[in-house]
Structure 1
Amino acid sequence: MAIATRYHWEKLESFCSSVFEKAGVSKENSRIVANSLIEADLRGVDSHGVVRTAIYLERIEKGMIDPDAKPVISNESDAALLVDGHNNFGSVVGTNALTIALEKARENGVALVGVKHSNHFGTGAYYAKKAIDQDIILLVLSNASQTMPPTGGVRPFIGTNPLAVGIPAGENPPFILDMATSVVARGKIIVEAQKGNSIPLGWAIDKEGNPTTDANAALEGSVLPLGGPKGYGISMFIDILAGVLTGAGFGKYVNNMYSNWEEPQNVGHIFLAIDVNAFMPIELFKQRMDQYITEIKAEPKATGVEEIFIPGEIESRRAEERKENGIELPLKVVEELNSIGMRYGVDLAAATYELNSLGEVQK
C-alpha cells in the first residue's frame, strides 16, 4: 500500500487558495473556499476536504459555478430573509448568509436566513464554529443531490441532507453536532472507493437494491437513511425547509455536481441563529453549559470506555493534532493535487512536512 504524505495545514490552505485564484476566483473568495476545505480535513472529515478541489475547479471551468457572482438579498423582514447565491461557491454563499444571520440575530435575538441558487457548501461545522466564536447558537441545514431512497424505495430521491448545530460553552469544549441524515455521508464512500477499500455492510445498497460492501457498487446505488424511516423523515424535513421553502431545488431537482454538466446545482441552505443574550447573559449561559457538559462527562463509563465525549469534541482534538503533525493525504489525492498544481503553476511540494526515517514529522 502506498505511503501517504503529510502537509502543513496553513501551507496546504495557501496552495488551494492560490490554485483557485489562478483559476479566476477572487482572492477573498479563494481564501474562503480553501479555508472551508482545510477545516474539514483538520477535523477529520476528509470526504469534504481538499479531495473536493478537483471537482470544484472542473465546475468552474465548465461554467457550472460562477465565481464572480454576488450573493444578494431577495426578500427581507426583521428576523428573516432570503439570499440568492447566484450560483457562486457554496462556501462563499454560505459565509455571506452566515454573516447576515449573525448580524440579524444580534439585532432581533433570532434570525432565519434561507439560501437558494447555491452549491455544495462544505461541512456544517465550518459555519457552526464561526457562530460559536461570536457567542451565537447556530442551526445549519442543507439539502443535497439524490443519493438516498425513501424508506421502502430502491432508487435515490433525496440527498443525505446534513444538519449541524453549534452551541458555545465556557471552559469546556463547545457542542458541535455535524451529521448527514444517512448512515454515512456519500463523500466517505467516495474516499473509500478512491482508496480501493470495501465499505461496511449497512452503509449502502447497489442499483438493484441489494446490500453491498463494494464502494463502487454503492456509488452506483444509494446510501441508506440513518435509523431507517427516522433518517428518511429528517432528510425530507430538511429538503422541505432548505429547498421547497427557499425556492432552491428539492428532491430530484438538486443537481449532482459529479454527473450533471448542463445545469447548476441549485442547492438550498437554512441558517437559524440565536443570540444567547436574548435569553440570559452569555457568561451565565456558558457557566450552565460547562456544568451540563462536566456532569455528562462524569457519568459512569461502560467497560472499556476511558472517556465520554460530547459531539464535536473528538473532531476538535483531531484538529489540534493535525495542526501540530500535519494533514495526511492518500497518494491518489496527492497525485490529483500535484496535477492541479502543475496545471496552474502552484507547487504542492512547498506544503509538505519534512519526515524523519520513521515517517515522523520533523519538529
Structure 2
Amino acid sequence: MQLSLDQATELCRMAALGAGANEEAAQSLAASIVAAEAEGLATVGLTHFIDYLEALEAGRIDGKAEPVITRPALAVYLSDARGGLAHTGFDRTIDDLAKAARLFGVAIFSQKNSYTCGALGYFTGRLAALGLVSFAATNGPAVLAGSGSVKPVYCTNPMSFAAPAADGAPLVIDQSSSATAFVNIRKAAEDGRQIPEGWALDASGNPTTDPAAAMKGAMLAFGGQRGANIALMVEVLAAGLSGANWSLDAPWFSGGPDSPGTGLFVLAVEPKLLDPDFEKRMKNQLDRLRRRFGVHVPGRARAEAAEKAAARGITAPKAVVQRISEFAARYSF
C-alpha cells in the first residue's frame, strides 16, 4: 500500500494512541518509525512498529510513563524512562543536550528503564542535523554469545556514530555488534528461509543455518572475539553507566508483561570548538573517499531514500498496514 509520510505518521500516531500511549509518546514513536521506513530501514520501520503496539497493549511499554530527567552535572543528563519508550526522554532532552554540547564541548545523555529503541541512527542522525558529532550505544535482552561462550549473554548491542558534513547528508553509521540484526533472523524464520553460516548457534551450541533453531540458541558477534568485546563495551556504556538492566537480566521485548528495562547512552560533541572548518573538511573527505576510492559512505543512501519518500511516499505490505489500522481504529477522538 502506498502512503505519504504524513499519512503514515498520522496512522502510526493514532495506532499508538489506540494501543494505550499518551499523545507525547505516540508522536515520538510515530516520528521514529516513519523516519526508519522512509530511510529504507524496513526491518525497524512499520513492521517493527507492530512489536511496539503489542508491547503497549500488553504493558511491556507504559505508554503514559513520565520520564524523570535529572542533571547531576552541567553536561550530563540522566533519564529514567520508568518503563516507557526510549524516545520520549531523549526528545525532551535533545535541545538542552545540544546547547550543553555547544557550551561545554561535550554532553552526555544516559537513560535506563526503557523499551528497546529501534533504529539507533535516529538518535545520532538528529544530533548531526544540529551540527554535532555523536556516538550512541544501547542494549536489550540477551541473544548474543560472548567471547568463548555458546550461551547468549548480550543483546545485539548496536552502536551508532554520526557526523555532519557541509551541504549534504551527514555520515551515519548504525550497526549491531552481532553478525546481523535479530530482526533479520526473525524475518528469515517467518519467510521460511535459511540464514548464512556464521550468524548463529543452536541451543546445543552448534553452528546453524536454521533461523528457528537460531532463535532458540545464540547469535554470533561479527569478527568473533573482537565483535564480542565491542558488545561488552556497548553493554557497559548503555547499561552499566545508566543503571539499566544488563542484557542477561532484561525481560524479552515480546511476550510477558515486563519492560526490558534497557539502557541508552548518547555522547554529543561540538566539533566547531575543535575545528571551525570541520563540516567543510568532512564533506571534502567523504567526497574524496567516495569518488576517488569507491568507498561506501554510510548515511548517504538513507538520506537519498528519505528525500524520495518525502516526495513519493512509502510502500508498505498490506497486512502490516491493516494490522496497524486495527490499533488505530480503537482510538476515539
On whether the aligned pair clears a TM of 0.5, the verdict is yes
More off after superposition, 173-182 vs 55-64? 55-64
From 281, 284, 292, give the equivalent of 1:299. Answer: 292
Distance, in Å, in 2 between the alignment partners of 1:345 and 1:208 is: 49
- Distance in 2 separating the partners of 1:337 and 1:11: 12
Residue matched to 2:323: 336
Moved over 4 A (4+): 341-346
1:356 corresponds in structure 2 to none
8 Å Cα contact 1:243/1:268 also seen in 2: yes
Cα shift at 1:34: 0.7
Map of 1:312 onto structure 2: 299
Unaligned runs of 5+ in 1: 302-307, 347-363
Q: 1:267 aligns with which of 245, 252, 262?
A: 262
- 1:101 shift after superposition: 2.2
Q: Which ranges of structure 2 fall in alignment gaps of 5 or more residues?
A: none
Contact 1:93 1:118 in 2 (8 A): no
Partner residue of 1:359?
A: none
The residue that corresponds to 1:250 in the other structure is 246
Contact 2:140–2:262 (8 Å) recurs in 1: yes
Q: CA RMSD in A?
A: 2.1
Number of aligned residue pairs: 333
**Amino acid in the other structure paired with 1:60:** L
Superposed displacement of residue 343, structure 1? 4.8
Q: Quote the sequence identity (%).
A: 27
Calculate the TM-score normalised by the size of structure 2: 0.92
Give 1:342 deviation, angstroms. Answer: 4.6
Q: Aligned to 2:17, what secondary structure does the other structure show?
A: helix
Q: Give the structure-1-normalised TM-score.
A: 0.85
**Cα offset for 1:178?**
0.6
How far apart, in 2, do the equivalents of 1:285 and 1:58 lie? Answer: 44
Contact 2:124–2:135 under 8 Å retained in 1: yes
Query: In structure 2, do the counterparts of structure 1 residues 41 and 192 end up closer, same or farther at CA, with 3 Å as the change threshold?
Result: farther
Q: For the pair shown, which has the larger CA radius of gyration, 1 or 2?
A: 1
Which deviates more, 176-185 or 39-48?
39-48
The alpha-carbon distance between structure 1 residues 123 and 83, as it changes in their structure 2 partners (threshold 3 A), is same
The match for 1:91 is 87
Q: Is the 2:247–2:262 Cα contact (8 Å) retained in structure 1?
A: no
Q: Are the structure 2 counterparts of residues 152 and 330 from structure 1 closer, same or farther at C-alpha, using a change threshold of 3 Å?
A: farther
Secondary structure of 1:166's partner?
strand
The counterpart of 1:126, out of the listed 118, 122, 129, is: 122
Counterpart for residue 305 of structure 1: none
Match of 1:349 in 2: none
